[in-house]
């Protein structure tokens, strides 16, 4: 996941994507989507492209499973770290720094994915349409786009707006010390934008707390029918949405939306 907007909107703090080591620590606990995307790629009839591949959290295990997968990401530092991790694992990868709204790859893909809510970095309808069209142009006949994202439920917004809460607590991957993510989220309900001020706090072996990092990021959410209209306007003809990585129907506003869309 990396920012689609080139201009930093971090209010003076640098976002998580310029520090890929920290990024990998912050999301070291997360793997809920991994099996889904790896299995999807393994079943693909042709080459796979991962859009906003970051440091390779999904791309590298997919490549290690023998899949012909390429990747793009907007942030050079993320791609650099992906390449270093690939080299260390002795994996050959074809990844590039590119903007999902406007990229050109030499080949076409049977499957293009945007995992981990990265589509939510696109802040305007115009940016969303540019990305969806550019991806459509890179699909083989019969190919499909698969992406997942969410929107904050009314209850979640009502309970969390403007409140600083510890959203996640996990063990540091290097030494097992406790790391906490403290988030203060604000919701612009008509512009559909969440602004998160995040503080990453580590407690060392002696019990002292250290702030590792502070950064601000924004996510632009889209509702279900809005996404259907975006897909239609971008030239897709068939789509389906599921309510979780296990394939259950989308029924609740707290469900993750898993989209599959095809231009044919």
**10-18, 69-77, 177-185, 225-233 -> range binding other proteins (CB under 8 A):** 225-233
Binding mask 161-200 for other proteins (x = CB under 8 A): ----------------------------xxxx--------
Q: How many CB atoms lie within 10 A of CB 238?
A: 11
Residues 6+ apart with CB under 8 A from 1: 17, 52, 54, 115, 116, 117, 118, 121
CB of 246 to other proteins, least distance (A): 17
Site for other proteins in 108-167 (CB under 8 A): 125, 153-155, 157-158
> 115, 187, 105, 201: which is closest to 153 by C-alpha?
187
Tokens at residue 218, please? 């924004």
Sheet containing 178-188: which strands, arranged edge to edge?
Answer: 164-171, 178-188, 193-203, 209-220
CB of 160 to other proteins, least distance (A): 12
Q: By CB under 8 A, name the one of 11, 35, 229, 237 that touches other proteins.
A: 229
- Classify 207 in phi/psi space as left (phi over 0), alpha (psi -120 to 50) or beta: left
β-pairing verdict for 209-220 and 193-203 = antiparallel
Binding mask 5-24 for other proteins (x = CB under 8 A): --------------------
Binding of other proteins by 237 (CB under 8 A): no
Binding mask 205-224 for other proteins (x = CB under 8 A): -----------------xxx
CB of 71 to other proteins, least distance (A): 29
3-state secondary structure of 132: helix
Q: By CB under 8 A, name the one of 230, 236, 259, 262 that touches other proteins.
A: 230
What's the CA gap between 127 and 117, in Å, rounded? 15
The residues that touch other proteins, with contacts defined as CB under 8 A, are 125, 153-155, 157-158, 189-192, 222-226, 228-230, 232-233, 250-253, 255
């Amino acid at each position: 996941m990396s920012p689609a907007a080139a201009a930093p909107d971090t209010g003076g703090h640098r976002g998580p994507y310029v520090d890929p080591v920290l990024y990998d620590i912050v999301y070291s606990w997360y793997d809920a989507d991994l099996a889904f995307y790896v299995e999807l790629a393994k079943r693909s009839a042709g080459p796979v492209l991962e859009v906003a591949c970051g440091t390779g959290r999904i791309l590298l295990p997919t490549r290690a499973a023998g899949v012909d997968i390429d990747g793009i990401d907007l942030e050079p530092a993320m791609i650099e770290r992906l390449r270093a991790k690939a080299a260390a694992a002795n994996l050959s990868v074809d990844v590039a720094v590119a903007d999902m709204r406007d990229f050109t790859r030499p080949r076409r893909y049977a499957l293009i994915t945007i995992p981990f809510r990265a589509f939510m970095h696109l802040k305007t309808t115009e940016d969303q349409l540019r990305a969806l069209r550019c991806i459509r142009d890179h699909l083989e006949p019969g190919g499909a786009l698969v992406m997942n994202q969410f929107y904050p439920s009314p209850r979640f917004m009502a309970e969390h707006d403007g409140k600083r809460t510890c959203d996640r607590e996990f063990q540091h991957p290097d030494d097992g010390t406790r790391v906490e993510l403290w988030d203060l989220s604000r919701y612009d309900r008509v512009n559909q934008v969440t602004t998160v001020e995040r503080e990453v706090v580590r407690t060392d072996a002696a019990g002292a707390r250290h702030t590792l990092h502070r950064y601000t990021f924004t996510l632009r959410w889209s509702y279900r029918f809005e996404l259907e209209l975006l897909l239609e306007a971008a030239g897709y003809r068939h789509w389906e949405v599921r309510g979780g990585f296990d394939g259950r129907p989308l029924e609740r506003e707290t469900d993750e939306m898993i989209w599959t869309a095809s231009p044919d």
